[in-house]
């Protein structure tokens, strides 16, 4: 594997022990993947700050002890604690302390304390064609697809090594050829009214992830009016049900001004016509409960944007909520809520704002269990295994009306 003179200096330890450790790990991974060399990256987003066990804490603290500091702009994904309200998490005290140590280690390495899975909506937006090193599946698919930056799905430990060295192995979605679509998804059979509805995009994402896996697909027939939040929901669902790291939307996303551009002028390996039946069948798989009982509503995976909060408040229309509603979001959005004086009304209505973390990665929900409703395909996928709750996938209007009523309210107009 070819290394530049600077990279050789890192590998020999001439630029410090932390860089020696980090580039050694990256080179080992690069050799396994068959990368010919490393490339510079301009930014990073770190998932390793989420506590999964003590080994992650010890690794991060070893880097800190070795003098590690990030060399490129680096944001942090969610941790296991809401540092604004640490007791919100129901972790045992020993695990709470370890989670706090882990989060502190990453800020000690000069990472930005953003604590969000949607840093791209908090100002960290790399440009088209930039090589970056991002972790967190929804963030990866968003920056690749919607912004046109270039990153692989970097896992824990590789992400911080890339941030310290400013390098990653040259393979995968950093290679322009690998970013071309090989599969076409034709959505012409889907009604325009459904394609205008936000309920459609997590379902499309779940179907896409299960169907194409790690392949790159271009979706044809999505209206140009599709919103950033709808694309965010599509990508998050696709990345959590499959290994999708990049999708294109013809006429919408930056590397797919036309269908032909997304394909690089080549014929696709296959064309799949999406049908209403496929959408209905996928929609049904996102729920594990079919009854009318409801114990909680959870929104914000990925973290809610200010636009999504405004939509929630428009639907709620000043009404009180009869079941607990949890909305996960980033500090950048909380600042926007405060500037618009929305927080007091939300909290008075019965909304619990969850910052720095989310309800499926740390115990926040009532441990007695029950049925949770969500408009997030990612929450729908992870809730049963991560929280013990049964899940109901629904549109945002259905979530709000159900939370107000205290039992499941279905709106057929949201599903056609």
Instruction: Give residue-wise pLDDT tens across range 28-62.
Output: 999 999 999 999 999 999 999 999 999 999 999 99
Alpha-carbon gap, residue 322 to 271, rounded angstroms: 46
45 torsion bin: left (phi>0), alpha (psi -120 to 50), beta (else):
beta
339-352, pLDDT tens digit by residue?
Answer: 999 999 999 999 99
The answer to whether 87 and 97 are in contact (CB under 8 A) is no
Angle of helix 200-212 relative to helix 228-241, nearest 10 degrees? 40
Distance CA 339, CA 255 (A): 36
Contact 89, 82 (CB under 8 A): yes
The set of residues, in sequence order, having a beta carbon less than 8 Å from that of 282 and lying 6+ positions away, is: 203, 206, 207, 210
Distance CA 370, CA 387 (A): 10
Q: Give the residue from 196, 397, 227 showing the smallest Cα distance to 311.
A: 397
Instruction: State the sign of the Cα–Cα–Cα–Cα dihedral 328, 330, 333, 334.
Output: positive
Highest CATH level, class, for 5-175: alpha beta
Q: What's the pTM value of the predicted model, to 2 decimals?
A: 0.96
Locate the domains of the chain by residue range: 5-175, 180-284, 287-414
- Would you say residue 78 has pLDDT above 70? yes
Average pLDDT over residues 110-119: 98
**Proportion of the chain above pLDDT 90, given as a percent:** 97
- Phi/psi at 27 (nearest 5 deg)? -65, -40
Does 413 score more than 90 pLDDT?
no
Phi-psi region of 205 (alpha: psi -120 to 50; beta: other; left: phi over 0): alpha
pLDDT band of residue 264 (cuts 50, 70, 90) is very high
Neighbours of 180 (CB within 10 A): 19
The backbone torsions φ and ψ at residue 217, rounded to the nearest 5 degrees and listed phi first, read -115, 155
Q: Catalogue the E-assigned strands of 280-375.
A: 296-304, 325-329, 351-355, 371-374
Q: Which CATH class is domain 287-414?
A: alpha beta
DSSP assignment letter at 321: P
Asked if omega into 280 is within 30° of 0 (cis), the reply is: no
Counting Cβ atoms within 10 Å, is residue 9 exposed (0-12), middle (13-18) or buried (19+)? middle
Q: What is d(CA 247, CA 141) in angstroms, rounded to the nearest whole number? A: 7
The reply to whether 287-414 shares the fold of 5-175 is: yes
| pLDDT computed for residue 416 by the predictor | 59
Helix, strand, or coil (residue 372): strand
String of DSSP letters for 131-174 = B-EE-SHHHHHHIIIII--B-----TTHHHHHHHHTEEES-GGG
414, pLDDT greater than 80: no
Token pair for 280: 């209905």
Percentage of residues of the chain with pLDDT beyond 70: 99
Mean pLDDT along residues 235-243: 96
Going by pLDDT thresholds of 50, 70 and 90, the confidence category of residue 411 is confident
100 forms beta bridges with none
Buried b (16+ CB within 10 A) or exposed e, 363-372: bbbeeeebbb
Please state, in angstroms and rounded to a whole number, the distance separating the CA atoms of residues 149 and 134: 10
| Mean local confidence (pLDDT), 144-153 | 98
Pairing of strands 183-186, 217-220: parallel
Yes or no: say if 331 and 302 are a contact pair by the CB < 8 Å rule: no
pLDDT at res. 412: 74
Report the C-alpha gap between 371 and 392 in whole angstroms.
7
* All residues at 6 or more sequence positions from 344 whose CB lies less than 8 Å from its CB, including other chains: none
> Distance between the two ends of the chain, CA-based, in angstroms?
54
Q: Which structure tokens are listed for 4? A: 């530049």
pLDDT reported for residue 117: 98
pLDDT at 98 over 80: yes
Q: How far apart are the C-alpha atoms of 232 and 390, rounded to whole Å?
A: 24
């Amino acid at each position: 594997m070819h290394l530049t003179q600077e990279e050789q200096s890192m590998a020999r330890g001439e630029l410090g022990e932390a860089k020696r450790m980090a580039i050694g790990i990256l080179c080992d991974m690069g050799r396994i993947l068959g990368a010919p060399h490393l490339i510079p990256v301009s930014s990073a987003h770190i998932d390793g700050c989420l506590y999964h066990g003590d080994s992650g804490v010890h690794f991060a603290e070893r880097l800190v002890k070795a003098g590690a500091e990030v060399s490129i702009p680096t944001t942090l994904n969610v941790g296991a604690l809401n540092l604004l309200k640490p007791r919100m998490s129901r972790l045992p005290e020993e695990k709470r302390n370890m989670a706090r140590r882990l989060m502190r280690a990453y800020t000690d390495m000069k990472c930005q304390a953003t604590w969000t899975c949607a840093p791209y909506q908090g100002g960290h937006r790399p440009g088209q064609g930039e090589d970056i090193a991002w972790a967190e599946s929804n963030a990866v698919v968003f920056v690749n697809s919607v912004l046109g930056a270039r990153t692989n799905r970097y896992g824990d430990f590789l992400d911080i090594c890339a941030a310290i060295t400013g390098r990653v192995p040259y393979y995968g979605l950093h290679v322009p050829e690998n970013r071309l679509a090989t599969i076409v998804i034709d959505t012409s059979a889907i009604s325009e009214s459904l394609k205008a509805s936000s309920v459609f995009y997590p379902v499309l994402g779940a179907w896409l992830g299960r169907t194409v896996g790690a392949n790159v697909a271009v979706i044809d027939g999505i209206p140009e009016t599709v919103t950033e939040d709808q694309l965010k929901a599509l990508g998050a669902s696709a990345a959590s049900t499959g290994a999708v790291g990049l999708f294109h939307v013809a006429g919408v996303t930056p590397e797919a001004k036309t269908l032909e551009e997304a394909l690089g002028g080549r014929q696709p390996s296959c064309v799949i016509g999406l049908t209403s039946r496929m959408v209905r069948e996928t929609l049904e798989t996102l729920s594990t409960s079919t009854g009318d009982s409801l114990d909680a509503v959870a929104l914000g995976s990925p973290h809610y944007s200010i636009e999504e909060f405004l939509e929630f408040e428009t639907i709620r229309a000043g009404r009180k909520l009869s079941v607990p509603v949890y909305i996960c979001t980033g500090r950048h959005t909380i600042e926007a809520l405060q500037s618009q004086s929305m927080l007091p009304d939300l909290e008075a209505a019965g909304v619990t704002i969850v910052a720095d973390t989310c309800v499926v990665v740390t115990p926040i929900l009532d441990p007695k269990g029950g049925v949770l409703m969500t408009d997030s395909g990612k929450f729908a996928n992870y809730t049963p295994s991560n929280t013990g709750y049964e899940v109901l996938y629904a549109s945002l209007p259905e979530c709000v009306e159900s939370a107000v009523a205290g039992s499941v309210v279905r709106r057929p107009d949201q599903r056609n």
